[in-house]
Protein backbone atom coordinates (compact mmCIF):
# COMPACT_ATOMS: atom_id res chain seq x y z
CA UNK A 1 0.00 0.00 0.00
CA UNK A 2 2.93 2.33 0.72
CA UNK A 3 4.26 1.92 -2.81
CA UNK A 4 0.85 2.86 -4.26
CA UNK A 5 0.58 5.96 -2.08
CA UNK A 6 4.13 7.07 -2.92
CA UNK A 7 3.36 6.68 -6.64
CA UNK A 8 0.18 8.77 -6.29
CA UNK A 9 2.07 11.50 -4.42
CA UNK A 10 4.84 11.58 -7.02
CA UNK A 11 2.21 11.78 -9.80
CA UNK A 12 0.62 14.79 -8.00
CA UNK A 13 4.02 16.48 -7.79
CA UNK A 14 4.72 15.90 -11.49
CA UNK A 15 1.27 17.30 -12.43
CA UNK A 16 2.00 20.47 -10.44
CA UNK A 17 5.54 20.75 -11.85
CA UNK A 18 4.37 20.40 -15.46
CA UNK A 19 1.67 23.05 -14.86
CA UNK A 20 -1.19 20.72 -15.75
CA UNK A 21 -4.71 22.18 -15.25
CA UNK A 22 -5.90 22.86 -11.72
CA UNK A 23 -8.71 20.30 -12.03
CA UNK A 24 -6.19 17.49 -12.77
CA UNK A 25 -4.16 18.32 -9.69
CA UNK A 26 -7.29 18.71 -7.53
CA UNK A 27 -8.66 15.37 -8.81
CA UNK A 28 -5.47 13.41 -8.23
CA UNK A 29 -4.80 15.17 -4.90
CA UNK A 30 -8.28 14.28 -3.63
CA UNK A 31 -7.91 10.71 -4.95
CA UNK A 32 -4.63 10.37 -2.99
CA UNK A 33 -6.33 11.56 0.21
CA UNK A 34 -9.28 9.17 -0.39
CA UNK A 35 -6.88 6.20 -0.87
CA UNK A 36 -5.01 7.24 2.29
CA UNK A 37 -8.30 7.39 4.21
CA UNK A 38 -9.33 4.01 2.77
CA UNK A 39 -6.21 2.29 4.16
CA UNK A 40 -6.86 3.92 7.53
CA UNK A 41 -10.54 2.93 7.43
CA UNK A 42 -9.68 -0.73 6.74
CA UNK A 43 -7.24 -0.59 9.68
CA UNK A 44 -9.71 0.82 12.22
CA UNK A 45 -12.55 -1.48 11.13
CA UNK A 46 -10.49 -4.68 11.49
CA UNK A 47 -12.07 -5.62 14.87
CA UNK A 48 -15.55 -5.36 13.28
CA UNK A 49 -14.70 -8.13 10.74
CA UNK A 50 -16.35 -6.27 7.89
CA UNK A 51 -15.98 -7.79 4.46
CA UNK A 52 -15.94 -5.67 1.31
CA UNK B 1 -1.30 50.30 -1.38
CA UNK B 2 0.42 49.37 1.88
CA UNK B 3 2.73 46.35 1.55
CA UNK B 4 1.54 43.27 3.48
CA UNK B 5 3.88 41.98 6.19
CA UNK B 6 3.34 38.31 5.32
CA UNK B 7 3.15 36.77 1.86
CA UNK B 8 1.41 33.61 0.68
CA UNK B 9 4.77 32.30 -0.51
CA UNK B 10 6.37 32.72 2.91
CA UNK B 11 3.38 31.10 4.66
CA UNK B 12 3.70 28.07 2.35
CA UNK B 13 7.47 27.95 2.86
CA UNK B 14 7.06 27.99 6.67
CA UNK B 15 4.51 25.16 6.52
CA UNK B 16 6.73 23.14 4.16
CA UNK B 17 9.84 23.59 6.34
CA UNK B 18 7.98 22.45 9.49
CA UNK B 19 6.73 19.29 7.75
CA UNK B 20 10.13 18.58 6.10
CA UNK B 21 11.86 18.93 9.49
CA UNK B 22 9.46 16.39 11.07
CA UNK B 23 10.03 13.93 8.20
CA UNK B 24 13.83 14.34 8.33
CA UNK B 25 13.88 13.64 12.10
CA UNK B 26 11.70 10.53 11.52
CA UNK B 27 14.02 9.35 8.71
CA UNK B 28 17.10 9.95 10.90
CA UNK B 29 15.63 7.79 13.68
CA UNK B 30 14.69 5.06 11.18
CA UNK B 31 18.05 4.92 9.44
CA UNK B 32 20.46 5.56 12.33
CA UNK B 33 18.56 4.28 15.41
CA UNK B 34 16.80 1.41 13.59
CA UNK B 35 13.46 2.76 14.83
CA UNK B 36 11.23 1.09 12.21
CA UNK B 37 7.86 2.76 11.54
CA UNK B 38 4.65 0.72 11.86
CA UNK B 39 1.80 0.80 9.32
CA UNK B 40 0.03 3.68 11.11
CA UNK B 41 3.32 5.64 11.27
CA UNK B 42 3.72 5.19 7.50
CA UNK B 43 0.18 6.41 6.85
CA UNK B 44 0.93 9.52 8.92
CA UNK B 45 4.10 10.10 6.90
CA UNK B 46 2.07 9.88 3.69
CA UNK B 47 -0.45 12.40 5.08
CA UNK B 48 2.50 14.75 5.77
CA UNK B 49 3.83 14.20 2.22
CA UNK B 50 0.34 14.92 0.83
CA UNK B 51 0.34 18.24 2.75
CA UNK B 52 3.75 19.03 1.23
CA UNK B 53 2.52 18.29 -2.30
CA UNK B 54 -0.48 20.60 -1.74
CA UNK B 55 1.84 23.42 -0.57
CA UNK B 56 4.10 22.81 -3.59
CA UNK B 57 1.16 23.76 -5.84
CA UNK B 58 1.18 27.27 -4.32
CA UNK B 59 4.99 27.60 -4.41
CA UNK B 60 5.17 26.49 -8.05
CA UNK B 61 2.50 28.95 -9.14
CA UNK B 62 4.35 31.83 -7.46
CA UNK B 63 7.64 30.63 -8.99
CA UNK B 64 6.32 30.44 -12.54
CA UNK B 65 4.03 33.50 -12.64
CA UNK B 66 5.51 35.67 -9.86
CA UNK B 67 2.00 35.82 -8.38
CA UNK B 68 -0.64 33.38 -7.16
CA UNK B 69 -4.42 33.49 -7.64
CA UNK B 70 -6.90 33.11 -4.79
CA UNK B 71 -8.14 29.89 -6.50
CA UNK B 72 -4.64 28.37 -6.36
CA UNK B 73 -4.25 29.40 -2.70
CA UNK B 74 -7.66 27.87 -1.89
CA UNK B 75 -6.78 24.59 -3.64
CA UNK B 76 -3.37 24.28 -1.95
CA UNK B 77 -4.60 25.04 1.55
CA UNK B 78 -7.88 23.12 1.08
CA UNK B 79 -5.98 19.94 0.22
CA UNK B 80 -3.56 20.63 3.09
CA UNK B 81 -6.45 20.84 5.58
CA UNK B 82 -7.99 17.60 4.24
CA UNK B 83 -4.66 15.73 4.42
CA UNK B 84 -4.05 17.13 7.93
CA UNK B 85 -7.53 16.01 9.03
CA UNK B 86 -6.83 12.45 7.84
CA UNK B 87 -3.32 12.48 9.38
CA UNK B 88 -4.61 13.87 12.67
CA UNK B 89 -7.22 11.07 12.90
CA UNK B 90 -4.42 8.54 12.44
CA UNK B 91 -2.12 10.05 15.07
CA UNK B 92 -5.04 10.40 17.49
CA UNK B 93 -5.84 6.71 17.00
CA UNK B 94 -2.23 5.78 17.71
CA UNK B 95 -2.16 7.99 20.82
CA UNK B 96 -5.35 6.27 22.04
CA UNK B 97 -3.86 2.80 21.35
CA UNK B 98 -1.10 3.57 23.87
CA UNK B 99 -2.95 5.73 26.38
CA UNK B 100 -3.43 3.15 29.17
CA UNK B 101 -1.21 3.58 32.25
CA UNK B 102 1.91 1.42 32.05
CA UNK B 103 1.92 1.26 28.23
CA UNK B 104 5.42 2.24 27.07
CA UNK B 105 4.10 3.47 23.69
CA UNK B 106 5.43 2.60 20.25
CA UNK B 107 8.91 3.52 19.03
CA UNK B 108 11.34 6.18 20.18
CA UNK B 109 10.77 9.58 21.70
CA UNK B 110 11.81 13.11 20.82
CA UNK B 111 11.94 15.55 23.74
CA UNK B 112 9.80 13.22 25.86
CA UNK B 113 7.00 12.74 23.32
CA UNK B 114 6.48 9.84 20.92
CA UNK B 115 6.55 10.48 17.17
CA UNK B 116 2.79 10.04 16.79
CA UNK B 117 2.15 12.64 19.52
CA UNK B 118 4.41 15.09 17.66
CA UNK B 119 2.52 14.09 14.51
CA UNK B 120 -0.76 15.12 16.15
CA UNK B 121 0.72 18.50 17.15
CA UNK B 122 2.09 19.05 13.62
CA UNK B 123 -1.19 18.14 11.88
CA UNK B 124 -3.12 20.41 14.25
CA UNK B 125 -0.75 23.36 13.66
CA UNK B 126 -0.74 22.90 9.87
CA UNK B 127 -4.52 22.72 9.80
CA UNK B 128 -4.85 25.88 11.91
CA UNK B 129 -2.15 27.66 9.87
CA UNK B 130 -3.79 26.80 6.53
CA UNK B 131 -7.26 27.81 7.75
CA UNK B 132 -5.85 31.13 9.03
CA UNK B 133 -3.98 31.77 5.76
CA UNK B 134 -7.14 31.19 3.71
CA UNK B 135 -9.21 33.36 6.06
CA UNK B 136 -6.66 36.21 5.84
CA UNK B 137 -5.72 35.64 2.18
CA UNK B 138 -7.07 39.03 1.08
CA UNK B 139 -4.55 40.79 3.33
CA UNK B 140 -1.51 38.69 2.42
CA UNK B 141 0.90 39.57 -0.39
CA UNK B 142 0.31 37.31 -3.42
CA UNK B 143 3.46 38.23 -5.35
CA UNK B 144 6.91 36.63 -5.07
CA UNK B 145 8.98 38.23 -2.27
CA UNK B 146 12.64 37.88 -1.24
CA UNK B 147 11.87 34.60 0.54
CA UNK B 148 10.87 32.97 -2.71
CA UNK B 149 14.53 32.32 -3.52
CA UNK B 150 14.30 29.47 -0.97
CA UNK B 151 11.31 27.89 -2.74
CA UNK B 152 13.40 26.13 -5.40
CA UNK B 153 15.53 24.05 -3.01
CA UNK B 154 12.50 23.47 -0.78
CA UNK B 155 10.62 21.89 -3.71
CA UNK B 156 13.62 19.70 -4.58
CA UNK B 157 13.77 18.67 -0.91
CA UNK B 158 10.07 17.71 -1.04
CA UNK B 159 10.64 15.62 -4.21
CA UNK B 160 13.66 13.95 -2.55
CA UNK B 161 11.64 13.16 0.61
CA UNK B 162 8.87 11.50 -1.44
CA UNK B 163 11.46 9.43 -3.34
CA UNK B 164 13.34 8.39 -0.18
CA UNK B 165 10.10 7.37 1.54
CA UNK B 166 9.07 5.48 -1.61
CA UNK B 167 12.32 3.46 -1.54
CA UNK B 168 12.13 2.86 2.22
CA UNK B 169 8.49 1.76 2.25
CA UNK B 170 9.24 -0.66 -0.60
CA UNK B 171 12.24 -1.99 1.35
CA UNK B 172 10.02 -2.46 4.41
CA UNK B 173 7.03 -4.13 2.77
CA UNK B 174 8.86 -6.01 0.02
CA UNK B 175 6.44 -7.65 -2.40
CA UNK B 176 3.66 -8.05 0.18
CA UNK B 177 0.58 -5.84 0.04
CA UNK B 178 0.33 -4.97 3.73
CA UNK B 179 2.80 -3.36 6.08
CA UNK B 180 3.67 -4.87 9.47
CA UNK B 181 1.88 -3.46 12.52
CA UNK B 182 5.02 -4.13 14.58
CA UNK B 183 7.95 -4.40 12.13
CA UNK B 184 11.32 -5.79 13.19
CA UNK B 185 13.16 -5.97 9.86
CA UNK B 186 13.12 -4.89 6.19
CA UNK B 187 11.04 -7.53 4.39
CA UNK B 188 12.65 -6.92 0.99
CA UNK B 189 16.00 -8.18 2.30
CA UNK B 190 14.61 -11.02 4.40
CA UNK B 191 12.44 -13.99 3.52
CA UNK B 192 11.59 -14.92 7.11
CB contact under 8 Å between A2 and B64, yes or no, is: no
Q: Which segments in chain B show pLDDT lower than 50?
A: none
Neighbours of B137 (CB within 10 A): 16
Q: How far apart are CA B28 and CA B73, in angstroms?
A: 32
Interface of A with B in 12-51 (CB under 8 A): 12-13, 16-17, 19, 22, 25-26, 29-30, 32-33, 36-37, 39-40, 43-44
Which pLDDT tens digit goes with each residue over A7-40? Answer: 888 888 888 888 788 888 888 888 889 988 888 8
Residues in chain A: 52
Among candidates B28, B17, B14, which has minimal Cα distance to B110? Answer: B28
> What is the value of ipTM here, to two decimals?
0.80
Q: How far apart are CA B88 and CA B23, in angstroms?
A: 15
Residues of A in contact with B43 (CB under 8 A): 36, 39-40, 43
CB contact under 8 Å between B169 and A2, yes or no, is: yes
Amino acid sequence: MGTVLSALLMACLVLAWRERPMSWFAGLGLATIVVLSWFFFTDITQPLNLSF
Amino acid sequence: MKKAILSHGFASLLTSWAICAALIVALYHQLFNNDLPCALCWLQRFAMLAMLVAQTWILLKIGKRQTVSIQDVALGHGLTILAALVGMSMSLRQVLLHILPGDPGYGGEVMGLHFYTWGFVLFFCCMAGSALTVALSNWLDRTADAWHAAARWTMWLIAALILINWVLVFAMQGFQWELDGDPTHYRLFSFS
